[in-house]
Structure 1
């Protein structure tokens, strides 16, 4: 997934920020995205993570000033970045449910009902 993120960031290098989410979480709450975009980030923050009822979730919002960190060796992708630079992370508490993760066709059927 990190290689895909790097390619995407290269295409979006002039953007202020970009949302990053796993492909198996296709439905994101517009209120969460809006809340994250409207959050004020400290000068040293580069990454916003939504917190749903005390649990971190997706998507993450990576600010342009953090794009260069994606060139580092990140063995577990974005998780490595978050663990390596916890002081650069802004938690954004949101009033929504954790997004649903689709891993199997059965998950899709369950959610679609």
Structure 2
């Protein structure tokens, strides 16, 4: 199964009042941790969608990843558009594959086993999208079939991808996980400090901690 990935990092970081992608987490940044977790989980190539302060992220990552593994795409209208616009830009930049992971760029603590769990769920059920679930609620990162590509690109309604999944409800799978990383982002300073403390408690780096 050939899998790629999309990470969304075009937003203004307005609630954080700091630039989230380049916040430090142990010996990495938030955006590096997101990229590394997805690559470690088996994504052949990651599309990183940038917008606000894109030049800084591009410069920071310039010598850290091979171009074959990390491709940058840009939402030039990041201040006026929603997340679905960035998703469409990422989807348009994908190389053909069987499926792709989708992850907000402020969720750096997803365990590789969670990525593998949704992959196994898709293979087992032949779903068009597979989500990790905690207490029965869908979380990031979903794995989305390439077959959904045109549906996503052509969707123009309100509600973003949630509305897309409603049209495919009988083809969406969920798999229970116990990954607290699925509940943690860096929306606010409080969220960031919780994340730092959580990762410190794991005595390792993001992507290698023990659940």
Give the TM-score normalised by the residue count of structure 1.
0.84
Contact 1:28 1:99 in 2 (8 A): no
Q: Once structures 1 and 2 are overlaid, which stretch shifts more, 74-83 or 56-65?
A: 74-83
Aligned to 1:79: 162
3-state SS in 2 of match to 1:74: coil
Give the TM-score normalised by the residue count of structure 2.
0.48
Aligned to 2:132: 50
What's the C-alpha RMSD, in Å, of the aligned pairs? Answer: 1.9
Q: Which runs of 4+ in 1 moved over 3 A?
A: none
Aligned to 2:189: 105
2:99 pairs with 17, 40, 45, which one? Answer: 17
Deviations 1:44-95, CA, capped at 9 Å, x for gaps:
x311111123222111111101111111223111111122321121112224
Q: Kindly state the Cα deviation for residue 13 of structure 1 after the two structures are TM-superposed.
A: 4.3
Gaps of 5+ in 2: 1-82, 198-211
Aligned to 1:3: 85
Highest RCO, 1 vs 2 (Cα 8 Å, sep ≥ 6): 1
Contact 1:13 1:64 in 2 (8 A): no
Q: Distance in 2 between matches of 1:112 and 1:61?
A: 26
